Amino acid sequence: MVDERRKILIVDDEKDVVDTINDILIEEGYETLLSCDGKDALRQINENSPELVLLDCYLPEMMGIDVLKEIRKNNEDIAVIMMTGRGEEQLAVSLMKAGASDYLKKPLGKFTLLSAVKDVLRRKDINREIIQSERLLLLGELFPFVAHEIRNPLHAIGGALTIIQKRARNEPLIEQSIKVIYEEVNRLNKFVKECLDFSNPSDLSKFASTDINDIITSSVDLMTPVFQDLSKKINVSLSLQEDLPRVETNFNEIKQVFLNIIKNSIEAIDCDGELNIKTNYNPNHSSKLLTIEFSDNGKGIREENSKKIFDPFFTTKMGGTGLGLPVCRKIICENHRGMLSIKSQEGKGTTVIIRLPVDDVRKDHEKKDISC
C-alpha cells in the first residue's frame, strides 16, 4: 500500500465542535481537513478527495442532507457520517436513505466518535476488498477462454498483414496503416498475455535457487535500449549487496515483476531522471527477508490514485492496461509469499519495496495445499 494517513473532512459551523473533533482525530493519526459550510465542503471534497466526511446536519445556507445528496450524485466511495444535535428517528432514517454511512448525536464523546470513524473506514476497506476479489475471480475463471478466442484471430491478422506488407512497398499511406495495425495487434497480444499471467496459477516446478542480483542485472540489461532512448535521459544506478543469500524463486516471474516496475519508473520520468535499484539482506534480523528497492524521481503518484494502483485495470496512461502492478502483487505476495509496498510523493518520486523470504516458499505452498 502507498504510505499515507487516512484523510477526514470535518464540516460544522460551530468552531468549538470542529476544533474538538480535529484534536481527537489528529491525536489518533488521521489527516484532517476543516470546513464550516456546505459549499466549501463540496469544493474541498472535489479538490482533496477525503475518505470520510463528518458532516453536521444543520449548516447555514445548505443543509447537511443536501450536501450529502450532492456528494452521492458523483461519489459512492466517500464515507459520510452525519452529526446532529437533535436525535430524531425520522431524520436518521432519511439520512441513511440519502446515503449516509452512519449517524451520530452531538455532543460526541471521544470513544463514540472514534469507534464510528474506525467502523466506517473498516467497512469501506472490506467493500473494496470484496469488489477487488470478485473482479479477480471473474478474471481468473473467464479469461483463459476469452484469451483463446482473442489470440487465434490475432495470429491470423498478423499473418495476413505480413503478406499485405510485402505487396505494399513504396506505398507510404498503406505502409503507415499497416504499422498502426501491427501496433494495435501487439498491444492486444500484450494485454492478453498480462491477463493470462494474472489468471494462471504459479508453476511450482519452475522454482529454483536464484541470485536476486542476477535477475536485477538481467532486467536492467533488457531495458538498456529504452534507457538509451534519445527522448529521455535516465541514469540507472545499482547498489547491490554482494553476499545476498540465494532465494527460491521462479526466475521469469520475478524478472517480469522487475521489468514492470522499471517500466513504470521510466514512464513516470518526463525527460531527465534517476532510477536507483538497491538490494539488502541483514542476516541478524529475525524476519529473514531480503529487500529490493526501486526508487525513481519521476512524477510520483497522485494521492487520490494511491489507493487504486493495485486495482486490476486501473491506469493513468494512454494505452496502459493497468495490470502491471496487480500482476507484480500476485507474483510477489501470492506466488512467493513476499511483500510489496509503495511509497510515493507527487512531484518527487516513487519507491517500490519488495521483501522476499529467504526460506523455500514451495514448502509454504505445499503446506497450504494440504490444509485446503
Ligand X SMILES: Nc1ncnc2c1ncn2[C@@H]1O[C@H](COP(=O)(O)OP(=O)(O)OP(=O)(O)O)[C@@H](O)[C@H]1O
Phi, psi of 252 (to 5 degrees): -65, -35
From 199, 264, 295, 306, residue interacting with Mg ion (rule: CB under 5 A): 264
Residue 81, amino acid: I
Q: What minimum distance in Å lies between the beta carbon of 135 and ligand X?
A: 14
| Cα-Cα-Cα-Cα dihedral sign, residues 245, 246, 247, 252 | positive
Q: What residues does 65 pair with on adjacent strands?
A: none
Please tell me whether residue 182 binds ligand X under the rule CB under 6 A.
no
Please tell me whether residue 295 binds Mg ion under the rule CB under 5 A.
no
For ligand X, give the closer residue by CB, 210 or 315: 315
Which among 54, 58, 65, 57 has a CA at the least distance from the CA of 30?
A: 54
- Restricted to residues 244-283, the positions that interact with ligand X (CB under 6 A) are 260, 264-265, 268
Q: What residues does 273 pair with on adjacent strands?
A: 234
Phi, psi of 238 (to 5 degrees): -110, 130
The C-alpha atoms of residue 71 and residue 110 are separated, in whole angstroms, by: 26
Please tell me whether residue 350 binds ligand X under the rule CB under 6 A.
yes
The C-alpha atoms of residue 217 and residue 25 are separated, in whole angstroms, by: 46
Please tell me whether residue 256 binds Mg ion under the rule CB under 5 A.
no
Please tell me whether residue 321 binds Mg ion under the rule CB under 5 A.
no
For Mg ion, give the closer residue by CB, 273 or 324: 324
Torsion of CA 211, 214, 215, 219, to 10 degrees: 170
Please tell me whether residue 324 binds Mg ion under the rule CB under 5 A.
yes
The C-alpha atoms of residue 298 and residue 105 are separated, in whole angstroms, by: 46
Please tell me whether residue 324 binds ligand X under the rule CB under 6 A.
yes
From 21, 82, 113, 323, residue interacting with ligand X (rule: CB under 6 A): 323
Please tell me whether residue 296 binds ligand X under the rule CB under 6 A.
yes
Q: What minimum distance in Å lies between the beta carbon of 260 and ligand X?
A: 6
Q: What minimum distance in Å lies between the beta carbon of 94 and Mg ion?
A: 45
Please give the radius of gyration of the chain, using alpha carbons only, rounded to the nearest integer. Answer: 26
From 22, 177, 315, 345, residue interacting with ligand X (rule: CB under 6 A): 315
For ligand X, give the closer residue by CB, 83 or 352: 352
Binding residues for ligand X (CB under 6 A): 260, 264-265, 268, 296, 298-301, 305, 309, 314-317, 320-325, 350
